[in-house]
Every structure is written in C-alpha cells, then in structure tokens.
Structure 1
Amino acid sequence: MRDFDAVVFDMDGVIFDSERAVLDSWYVVADRHDLGDITEAFLACTGVNDRETKQIMLRYYGEDFPYDEYAREASVIFHEKYDGGKLPMKSGVKEILTFLKDSGKKIALASSTRRPVVEAELRDAGLLDFFDELVTGDVVKRSKPDPEIYLLACEKIGVAPERCYAIEDSYNGVRSAAGGSLRPIMVPDLLPANDEMKSLVETVQESLLDVIGYLKAE
C-alpha cells in the first residue's frame, strides 16, 4: 500500500452524484425565469461555498440578479426530489470508505456545503459514521480554491497535510487541496481533467474503485 495516514474527501461530485442533481434543479429555475443556458455559470461555481457561488452568479448575470430567490427555488426542487436517502451515490463510495477504515486510516470531509445539509445527506446514506471529522463551508472564512478548508480538516484529524490524500472532482477543489500541500487525486465529474489539473494532482482516476486500486499499489 502507498504510504499515507489519511484521506480527505470532497462531498458533492465525489461521494454523491449531487452536482448533476443541483444543475438539473437550476435548469428548472432557468426555464421558469427565461435565464437561458446557465451551464457555464453553474460550472464556474463548482467546489465553492454559498457566498462565493452568489458572487459568481452576480458577475455572470449582473448585480440586480435575484440570486437568493432563485437559489431558494432550486433548493426546494432539489430537496423535494432527493431528501430521505434518495440522493444517488457515486460508484465505489462504501467500498473505499470501508477499505480506509479497515486499513486504520483517518477519514475526513472538506465540503463547501453547509454542515446541516452535509450531516443529513451522509446520515441518510448511512455514511456519517465513517468520518472522523467534517469540515464544512459555513465554518471557514475563505472558500475553495483557498486551502483553508483542507488545512482545517488536516488539523482536526491531527495529520500533516503532506500525509493526506484529497479526493476531488472540481477545479477549485483540486486547487484548494494542492494549495494546502495535500496530495490531490482527481476523480472527474462534470469537468474533465485539463492540463492545469493534471499538473496539480498526483493522479487522475475514473472512479473511487480505481482510487482503491491506486492506494493499494506499492
């Protein structure tokens, strides 16, 4: 097995197939309000917290864009469809968490999502007890791509960043992990691994099952 002490996971797009679910919810809102194709704006927001998402959307649509109203609409659509354990998990989630737990590795979460949502989604999926620590977007001052959230996760589990892998799907998440001197592994979701990402990560893997194979390698 490779030499490491912990793995810090992003959540949306890594553990849950939730970024597509959120995008689909925003498509409904965009259709209701004639916003046109919001895909580019949405992808620019992947990996960041609520505050930064709002700022990005205002840059795309103007300062008078009623972001809070539309975000509430999208949230209602999302939660009506996916609450109660209906949010789809990415392939290999339980397998990699079980592998890490059985191997005695620390497991943390560094998600830009608010803690109540993170806890509810992990609990509904039966995953909450796998994690030693959760660090969420509402407890840090600076959103990804700043490394603050990853450095705080490492501090909470008592492991040096250089001894931690970070599993990410978004560009901002990879930048955050790399900036904190963790060892990023990218498992692409909505966005492919471009040249910048390939220069920042230790490896790009197609799925969490592939990540298990990578971590097991000598």
Structure 2
Amino acid sequence: MIEAICFDMDGILFDTERLSVESWIAVAEKLGLGNIEKGVYGCIGLNRTDCRIFLKEVYGEDFPYDYFREQTSALFQERVEKEGLPMMKGAGELLTWLQEKGVKIALASSTGQEKVLSHLRRADFTDFFQVVIGGDMVEHSKPLPDIYLKACELLGVKPENAIAIEDSPNGIRSAAAAGMLPVMVPDMVEPTPEIEELLYHKCDSLFAVRDFLEDML
C-alpha cells in the first residue's frame, strides 16, 4: 500500500539542474578550469560535502572548490532573479492532485535546506509538504540512503510503502538503498542498465507520473 510520495527537487519540481549545469560551465570557462562536464554531471544528486569530495577526486586537491561554488551560486541566483525560477511542467498539478488525495508528501533534496525552502516559497509550494529535508541535514546525501530514510521516519511510513520520484542516477540509488519504490523521470541523465534494474517505474513526464499513480492511490 502506497502511503507517501517523496520528491526530489532539482530536475523534478524545478528545471534548475539545467541552469546549474550552464552556470558551472560558464564559471569554469571564466576561471580557465577546462572541461567541467564530468564534474557537473557527476555531482547531480550529491550534497555539498560529497560534491567537494568528488570534484577533488576528479580534478585534484588543488581544485578551488569553495570559490568555484561561490561563483556558480552567485551566477545561478542572478539568473533566477532575472529570469524567474524555472518550473517543471506538471509539478503544480501533480502536487495539488496528491494533496487532494490526502497522500503524505515529502521533499528530499541534496540541495541545502535554506535554498530548498527559498525555492518552495518562491513557487508557492511550501504547503504541499509535511516534511522538507535538505542535503545539509544528513552527513551524506544521495546516493547513500540517509536522506530518504530520514524522510520516511519523519513521515511515519515504512520505506517499502513510499515512492521516491527522482531524475538522477544518484537519487535512484539512494531511494533503492532505502528500500523505497523508485520512480524515475529522467531530466539531464538517462538511466543506464544498472539504474533500470533499480526502478519501480519510469515516466517521461510528471503528467505520466500522475497517470501511473492513478490506480495506486
């Protein structure tokens, strides 16, 4: 029995992963850091702690992580202020429908909680969620299961009775490791055969997620 739905944020509710990738590439070019694409795609789904570790493993201990993230965050925020927060199609409709169904809803994002709450307020999404967890609230975020286990604990549901809606391989690995039912809506990265094996279902849009859930809730 499905009792709860846990959402990732970037790439699921908001089209922010695309904006982040563009910001990373622009800053890397400005600083002369070379090709950053391996780093940026590898960091999708990671919190800041694990992202730092990954980037220094890939580019060496001299990689200027703090300054780089300061600059990418500033550029990202500048574009959000100028262009608005990009929404994923169907996000508001799906959240409204789930709320009307009386389903417990959580958000479990690798992004820091302060930024998560800011995005939710900007989109007027705050009231949809009973639980909101940012990546800075757990020691290690995705692909480890901590963030989803915490979400289920705070919702008061067993992981096997909860669906996680994710777009990234790291998010799918996290949800599967927590014992949840991972539903993938690919955004920037398509699932590999390894990820396909972990999926409960795959949808091509949030509208398709609603259709999939129609007979389950």
Shorter chain as denominator, the TM-score bin is over 0.9
Q: Does 1:64 align with 2:62?
A: yes
Which amino acid in the other structure matches residue 4 of structure 1? I
- The match for 2:21 among 13, 23, 46 is 23
Q: Which runs of 5+ in 1 are unaligned?
A: none
How far residue 37 of structure 1 moved from its aligned partner, in angstroms, is: 2.1
- What percent of counterpart residues are identical? 44
Aligned to 2:32: 34
Aligned to 1:151: 149
Equivalenced residues, count: 216
Q: Distance in 2 between matches of 1:179 and 1:91?
A: 28
Q: Distance in 1 between matches of 2:139 and 2:40?
A: 22
Q: Distance in 1 between matches of 2:82 and 2:209?
A: 28
| Structure 1 runs of 4+ with >6 Å offset | none
Which amino acid in the other structure matches residue 174 of structure 1? I
How far residue 40 of structure 1 moved from its aligned partner, in angstroms, is: 1.5
Q: Distance in 2 between matches of 1:196 and 1:165?
A: 19
How far residue 86 of structure 1 moved from its aligned partner, in angstroms, is: 1.1
Q: Quickly say closer, same or farther: Cα 1:49–1:189, change in 2 above 3 A.
A: same
Q: Distance in 2 between matches of 1:96 and 1:51?
A: 31
SS at match of 2:6: strand
SS at match of 1:7: strand
Which amino acid in the other structure matches residue 106 of structure 2? A
Q: Does 1:196 align with 2:194?
A: yes
- The match for 2:91 among 90, 93, 104 is 93
Q: Distance in 1 between matches of 2:178 and 2:148?
A: 6
Q: Distance in 2 between matches of 1:142 and 1:172?
A: 12
Q: Which runs of 5+ in 2 are unaligned?
A: none
Report matched runs for 1:120-131 at 5 Å: 120-131=118-129
Q: Distance in 2 between matches of 1:126 and 1:149?
A: 23
Q: Quickly say closer, same or farther: Cα 1:73–1:23, change in 2 above 3 A.
A: same
Aligned to 1:9: 7
Q: Is the 8 A contact 1:85 1:125 kept in 2?
A: no
Q: Does 1:176 align with 2:180?
A: no
Q: Does 1:75 align with 2:73?
A: yes
How far residue 84 of structure 1 moved from its aligned partner, in angstroms, is: 8.2
- The Cα offsets for residues 136-175 of structure 1, whole Å up to 9 and x where unpaired, read as 1111112211101001000111111111000001111100
Which amino acid in the other structure matches residue 109 of structure 1? L
